[in-house]
């Protein structure tokens, strides 16, 4: 290339991620430009408030209140959508795609809810939609799944996809904080939103799991067919059980696929993970994902899952991919052929029956403290032929009640549901039992 082309980049949103992108892209402009053989032009960022204090210095004429000044600018080739939400973001994303532009997005909710519409626009208008930043921040999981490990079919994908949950569970498990205190701390540190529902109830992790499941298997998992549980019920007795038996409490996303039977399942729930698993070592706000491929075996990627800079790193990675493709005339991201083949693939996949998933379980029961209580409990397990592996019994003599924590040998969700129904029918079981799965790659 003798006369380098100029590639214009525009940002929608200048929150933590947007500021990180602007800052690092400015700092590395020369290096990246020389690697790519192009000129980079950071043209403009659209914001909601011109006067908000920002840590990165941007000339006034490069900031606008009007997102269409970014999208419609013919000199902007790459639009980074970093505003979040699914209404305005959808409108702006589709507008940019209809203009045949490259959209780089960190918006998992948008992709999860409007994936088919977005990719239809990509295929129709020849633009691109790149979304490395939408799952696991700085961990290049999308690229690994889509490109590096393309030779594989994945029968198991398991990940820690929500940094807020992982921070809370790490503080509870390693430092003895209560859920409420760990959540407060996460909010104070900026890891959790004022309204933490999306994070602690597993919805954010479900969005990310859906994206991984679609990439791997071509099918968008309907929320009502997935298992989505949060971490609000975790308490000190659960932490204690985990510590005693070499387990770590993690909020997992688990995508299982049976290629012979044709099903996949998507589950997002707190689980006990044996300490020997690498994922058990992924702590704090970090994310980690283990992919099990038929050719490569298990590969794990771990790193910062949240934070402006980690996500900015992923956005910049996508921008660079987009530029490499734009300047060579190639298509980066998912090509039409790739999207079409993924669509075909997805047609042969059905959502599996969650009831049939088998794993060891952990239960915490709050019991009336009187003679014969244990016997009644064990009779239920025995009735459904569920074997108990380990038990810890705590007395709370002054309160007239006790706590029992226990784990079972592997058993199906359906059978465990029956056991739970039986337990809840007992008058001696005082509260809703807390149920956790024990993660085992083998089952």
In the residue annotation, 62 being an active-site residue is answered as no
CB of 438 to its own copies, least distance (A): 18
CB of 81 to its own copies, least distance (A): 18
Q: Is the dihedral of CA 164, 166, 170, 176 positive or negative?
A: positive
CB of 269 to its own copies, least distance (A): 23
CB of 281 to its own copies, least distance (A): 5
CB of 182 to its own copies, least distance (A): 19
Tracing tokens 């239960």 back to the chain, one arrives at 363
* Residue 373 and residue 400 in contact, taking contact as beta carbons nearer than 8 Å: no
Report the C-alpha gap between 270 and 442 in whole angstroms.
18
Question: Interface with its own copies by CB under 8 A: which residues?
Answer: 1, 20, 24-25, 28, 31-32, 34-37, 132, 137-140, 143-144, 147-152, 276-278, 280-282, 288, 293, 295-304, 307, 309-310, 312-314, 316-317, 320-321, 324-325, 328-331, 335-338, 340-342, 344-345
Nearer to its own copies, 74 or 329 (CB): 329
- Of the candidates 23, 101, 208, 219, the residue annotated as catalytic is 208
Count of alpha carbons within 13 Å of 82, Cβ hemisphere only? Answer: 31
Nearer to its own copies, 249 or 404 (CB): 249
Three-state DSSP state, 28: coil
Nearer to its own copies, 88 or 146 (CB): 146
C-alpha torsion 406→408→412→414, nearest 10: -40
Nearer to its own copies, 100 or 410 (CB): 100
Nearer to its own copies, 293 or 360 (CB): 293
Decide the pairing of beta strands 388-396 and 361-368.
unpaired
Task: Give the 3-state secondary structure of 182-248.
Answer: HHHHHHHCCCCCCCCHHHHCCHHHHHHHHHHHHHHHCCCCCHHHCEECCCCCCCHHHHHHHHHCCEE
DSSP 375-398: HHHHHHHHHTTPPEEEEEEEEEGG
CA end-to-end span of the chain? 54
CB of 29 to its own copies, least distance (A): 11
Q: In Å, how far are 63, 85, 163, 167, 175 from 283, measured between CA atoms?
A: 38, 28, 9, 7, 12
Nearer to its own copies, 127 or 402 (CB): 127
Q: Which residues does the annotation mark as catalytic? A: 208
């Amino acid at each position: 290339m003798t006369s380098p082309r100029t590639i214009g980049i525009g940002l929608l949103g200048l929150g933590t991620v947007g500021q990180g992108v602007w800052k690092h892209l400015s700092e590395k402009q020369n290096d990246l430009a020389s690697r790519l053989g192009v000129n980079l032009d950071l043209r403009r960022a659209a914001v909601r408030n011109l006067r908000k204090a920002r840590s990165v210095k941007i000339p006034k004429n490069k900031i606008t209140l009007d997102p269409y000044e970014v999208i419609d600018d013919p000199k902007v080739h790459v639009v980074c959508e970093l505003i979040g939400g699914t209404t305005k973001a959808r409108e702006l994303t589709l507008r940019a795609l209809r203009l045949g532009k490259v959209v780089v997005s960190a918006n998992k909710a948008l992709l999860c809810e409007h994936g088919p519409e977005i990719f239809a626009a990509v295929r129709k208008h020849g633009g691109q939609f790149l979304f490395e930043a939408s799952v696991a921040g700085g961990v290049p999981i999308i690229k690994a799944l889509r490109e590096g490990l393309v030779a594989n079919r994945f029968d198991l994908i398991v990940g820690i996809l929500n940094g807020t949950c992982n921070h809370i569970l790490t503080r509870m498990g390693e430092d003895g904080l209560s859920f409420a205190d760990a959540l407060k701390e996460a909010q104070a540190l900026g890891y959790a939103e004022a309204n933490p529902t999306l994070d602690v109830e597993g919805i954010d992790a479900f969005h990310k799991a859906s994206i991984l499941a679609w990439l791997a298997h071509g099918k968008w998992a309907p929320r009502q067919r997935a298992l989505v549980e949060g971490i609000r019920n975790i308490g000190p007795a659960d932490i204690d059980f985990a510590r005693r038996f070499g387990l770590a409490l993690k909020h997992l996303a688990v995508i299982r696929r049976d290629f012979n039977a044709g099903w996949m399942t998507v589950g997002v729930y707190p689980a006990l993970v044996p300490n020997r698993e690498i994922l058990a070592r992924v702590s704090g706000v970090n994310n980690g994902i283990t992919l099990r491929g038929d050719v490569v075996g298990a590969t794990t990627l771990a790193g910062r899952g949240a934070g402006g800079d980690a996500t900015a790193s992923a956005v910049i990675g996508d921008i660079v991919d987009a530029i490499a493709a734009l300047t060579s005339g190639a298509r980066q991201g998912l090509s039409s052929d790739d999207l079409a083949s993924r669509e075909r693939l997805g047609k042969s996949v059905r959502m599996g029956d969650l009831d049939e998933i088998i794993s060891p379980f952990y239960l915490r029961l709050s019991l009336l403290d009187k003679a014969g209580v244990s016997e009644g409990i064990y009779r239920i397990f025995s009735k459904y032929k569920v074997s108990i592996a380990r038990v810890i019994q705590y007395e709370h003599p002054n309160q007239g009640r006790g706590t029992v924590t226990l784990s079972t040998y592997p058993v199906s969700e359906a059978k465990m549901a029956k056991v739970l129904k039986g337990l809840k029918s007992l008058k001696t079981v005082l509260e809703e039992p807390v149920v956790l799965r024990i993660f085992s790659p083998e089952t």
